[in-house]
Amino acid sequence: MEGMIRRYHLLIAVLIVAVDRFTKWLVASRIALHDSISIIPGFFHLTHVQNRGAAFGLWSDSPSEWKVTVLIMFSLAALMVVVALLWKNSHAMTTTAAGLALILGGALGNLWDRLAMGRVVDFLDFSVSGYHWPAFNLADSAIVVGALLLVGEILFSKGTEPAEDELVGGR
C-alpha cells in the first residue's frame, strides 16, 4: 500500500513538472520576451519575462557570477529535504504529503529552467488597483499552494492529544 501512495505523490510532482514545462514552452514560443497579452484588462495579463534571480525577482539584478550556482545549490538542498519528508510521510495521502508533492513538482520545474537556461520563465502577471504583483509561473503556484497546505496543516490540524487514561497514569 505504501508503494502505491508513493506513486501518487510522484504522479502529482510529475504532472506539475509536465504542465509547468508545457506552459513555459507555450509562452516562450508564442509571446516575445517582455510582450504581454491582456486576458482581463487591468487585472490579468500573460507577460513573457525571464527571472534570473530567486522568487519574485529577488537578486535578479545582482551581477554575481555565482548567483545561478547558489540558486541551483539551494534548490537541490531544498529538494533533498522535501524528498526526505515526503518519503517519511508516504504512508498515506495526507494534506502534508500532498503539499510536499506540490512543492517537489514546482521546485523541479523551476530547477529545470535554471539548469537549462540559467533563468526561469514567468508569465502569470496580475495587477489590482494599481498594485502590481511580480510575474510568476505554474511551478511557483504549486510551491505556494503546497506551502499553504503545510501551514494550514500546522495551524488547523488537531494534534494527537494523549488519551484521558494516559494522563492519569493509564491502566
Q: Which residues are catalytic?
A: 122, 140
Residue 169 resides in a domain: no
- Most confident segment among 2-16, 79-93, 101-115: 101-115
| Total number of domains in the chain | 1
Return the half-sphere exposure (C-beta side, CA atoms, 13 A cut-off) of residue 22: 6
**Burial, 83: exposed, middle or buried (Cβ in 10 Å; 0-12, 13-18, 19+)?**
middle
Q: What is the pTM of this model?
A: 0.81
Residue-wise pLDDT for 114-138, tens only, equals 999 988 999 999 999 989 999 999 9
Domain of residue 34, residue span: 2-154
Residue 46 resides in a domain: yes
Residue 23 resides in a domain: yes
Residue 164 resides in a domain: no
